[in-house]
Amino acid sequence: MPAANTARIAPVGIPLDDGFSTKIAFATDANVSFWEKTVKPPGVDGGDAIEQTTMHNTAWRTMSSRSLKTLTPVTGTCAYDPVVYDQIVALINVEGSITVHFSNGDTLDFFGFLKSFDPGDNEEGSQPEASFEIVPTNTDPSDGSESAPNYITSAGTD
């Protein structure tokens, strides 16, 4: 039996008009000394397909989806004050609550850790920048339980 033909229906919600301003907050250091310039929020990845093909297939390889999902890393670039080095040492690999603040006022809260902070080349005539990567763990560090990300809409964005 072929797959069903499905009509596209108008999406629900309001698309973001502009990415400005998207910010990151660490519960363990909400005023870390870097200034976000670009932020790539986390995505959701279902993982590779599970091969289901057998010698009984006749024309097509068959697959199935996995059961679990991955919240993908947050990446971005930022300006920084060099004093941030002490703050970064205190944040790297420390699991805790992280919030992405979207430009429309919505937030996405999840557990994770700062994996890396990597300054770029400093040169005359341009602001020094660093790249960063945050890894979602989906694990509450207080008790080790699985914890899904929590998306919170601000008033008027539903």
In the chain, what are the domain boundaries?
23-47+61-152
pLDDT over 90 at 2, yes or no? no
Q: What is the pLDDT of residue 156?
A: 58
Calpha distance 99→30 (Å, rounded): 10
State pTM to two decimals.
0.92
Tens digit of each residue's pLDDT (9 = 90 or more) over 129-142: 999 999 999 999 99
Dihedral sign, Cα of residue 122, residue 123, residue 129, residue 131: negative
pLDDT over 90 at 1, yes or no? no
Q: What is the CATH number of domain 23-47+61-152?
A: 2.40.30
How would DSSP label each residue in 98-140? EEEE-TTS-EEEEEEEEEEEEE----TTS--EEEEEEEE--B-
Output phi, psi for 91, to 5 deg.
Answer: -95, -30
**Which amino acid belongs to residue 82?**
P
Q: What is the pLDDT of residue 143?
A: 98
**Tell me, what DSSP letter sits at residue 15?**
-
